Structure 1
Amino acid sequence: MTQRVRTQRIHRKGGRRVSEAERGTDVPGVTRPLTSRQRQAAARREEILKTALGLFAAQGFDATSTKQIAREVGIAEGLVFHYFPTKAGLLAAVLEARLEGGRAFRSVLRPLLEEASDRPAAEVLGAVASGWLATLRRDEEIVVVLFTTAQTNPEVWEAWQGLIREGTELLTGYLAARVEAGELREDLPLETAATMFVSSLMVFFLTRRHLPEPQWREQGEAHARELVSVWLDGARA
């Protein structure tokens, strides 16, 4: 068998010979290292995204100006538009970066539910409720931006609905397995039951998110327990 050998061109740099791979040129399989200017631009873009997210969450998308975002970052307003041509484009970039970065609820629920079809609902649903509330708390800013902006922005509404949908679909699959196992009643409306469970957690978060951390934990744990208890009273076979 003939082995294909990659040749490397040799160049001069600072009086010594360097290969194309070392230079970071377009060699297959080799990533060109970022220049200091590119690293600075990436860091500034991330700072704009982070600042915009915080302001959108605190005072709303409509009430936040690009001038205010620029002032908080410490740059000229024109530089914001260099990275994001429009304010709507900035919002879209914020949502994309934060939602794709976490796939928040899916990453929490999938490990809990996909391998849990043979475990009792009381045990699994308690973990789901606690995990969901913890994720809402961790990603509070992006959840608030989604919820408040979705009321007037159709694209954000779709993203908000997608966030809810990804959780309810996973939960519906688990509930179907527990119906088949005989733990939950046969006529349980699976999608409605899952939506009610998730909606209760969302309402709790939106009405309690301003609580200090100790109170949040205490009330969140109590809500998760009570939700599972009440939900199971109506769902058990």
Structure 2
Amino acid sequence: MSTTRQRQALASRRRIADAALELFAAHGVAATSTRSIAARAGVSEGLVFRYFPTKRDLLDGVVADGPTIAAALRDVVDGAGAKPVRTVAVALAERFADLASSEAALLSVLIGESRTDAVLHAAFTRAVDDAAGALADYLAERVAAGEVDAGLDRRAAAQQLIGGLLLILLTAAAPHDDHDRHPILREEARATTALWTRTCTAPAPT
């Protein structure tokens, strides 16, 4: 296949995936037909099946093409062991607010469909566990630096923050009338991470 044809094929696949994401987010996977996806993408239904033989393949492609929660967190914490918790927490708030704002449709599909789709649910659970593990590893480095109390249950603390940030993502995925919710999401994320920072860096009760 020539380079030009490869680019055209990739562009067609991208249009189909984008159309599927938009319709899945608006109507759910079960209520979305491949015909409607083809119409939204401006291609034939046959071309949809060429790239995505089943609607399951479409759903998997939409989810695989998007950013993950674990990747978003690792972007911040990987190699950040020398940075104080407050600095990393602020960066996490910004990253998750950006994710919630820019990927609302994808989050709506991922969170909504994972409630009934065992495969997506398992993938979502793995992503959350991976994110919590990365954050717990970072906290271990801050224990060694003397900033975080050695008695802190680092895994539980990491899961607590991930849970709080997931609530923000759930809010972003829900239907709303605001055209630009990013400032609100950012403030919510900052408040969540600020409280978590105080919990992590406070001396453990005696």
Q: Same fold (TM over 0.5)?
A: yes
In the TM superposition, residue 172 of structure 1 has moved relative to its aligned partner by: 1.0
User: Match for residue 28 of structure 1?
Assistant: none
Q: In structure 1, how many angstroms separate the alpha carbons of the residues matched to 2:172 and 2:14?
A: 29
Aligned counterpart, 2:185: 220
More helix by share: 2
Return the letter of the residue paired with 2:62: V
Letter of the 1:59 counterpart: H
Name the CA shift for 1:225/1:72 in 2 (closer, same or farther; >3 Å).
closer
Q: Find 2:135's aligned residue among 171, 177, 184.
A: 171
- Structure 1 residues 150-189: aligned runs within 5 Å: 150-189=114-153
How far residue 194 of structure 1 moved from its aligned partner, in angstroms, is: 0.8
Aligned partner of 2:98 in structure 1 is 134
User: 2:49 matched to 1:81?
Assistant: yes
Residues 71-128 of structure 1 show CA distances to partners (whole Å, capped at 9, x for unaligned) of 22233433322322211121112222x14xx45652x433532332232212211111
Q: Name which structure has the greater RCO, CA cutoff 8 Å, separation 6+.
A: 2
Return the alpha-carbon distance in structure 2 between the equivalents of residues 43 and 130 of structure 1. 31
Gaps of 5+ in 1: 1-31
Q: Secondary structure at the match of 1:117?
A: coil
Could you tell me which of 17, 24, 34 is aligned with 1:56? 24
- Residue number among 107, 118, 125 corresponding to 2:89 in the alignment: 125
Aligned-residue sequence identity (percent) comes to: 33
- Tell me, in whole angstroms, the C-alpha distance in 2 between the residues paired with 1:170 and 1:47: 34
What displacement does 1:60 show? 1.2
Mapping 1:19-58, distance limit 5 Å = 33-34=2-3, 36=5, 38-58=6-26
CA shift, 1:197, in A, is 0.5
Q: TM-score, normalised by structure 1?
A: 0.73
TM-score between both structures, scaled by the size of structure 2:
0.83
- Match of 1:115, SS state, is coil
Greater C-alpha radius of gyration: 1
Judged with a 3 Å threshold, the aligned counterparts in structure 2 of structure 1 residues 113 and 42 are, in CA distance, closer, same or farther, namely closer
Contact 1:105 1:132 in 2 (8 A): no
In 2, Cα distance between the equivalents of 1:82 and 1:135?
31
Letter of the 1:230 partner, please give it: L
- 1:230 is the counterpart of 2:195: yes
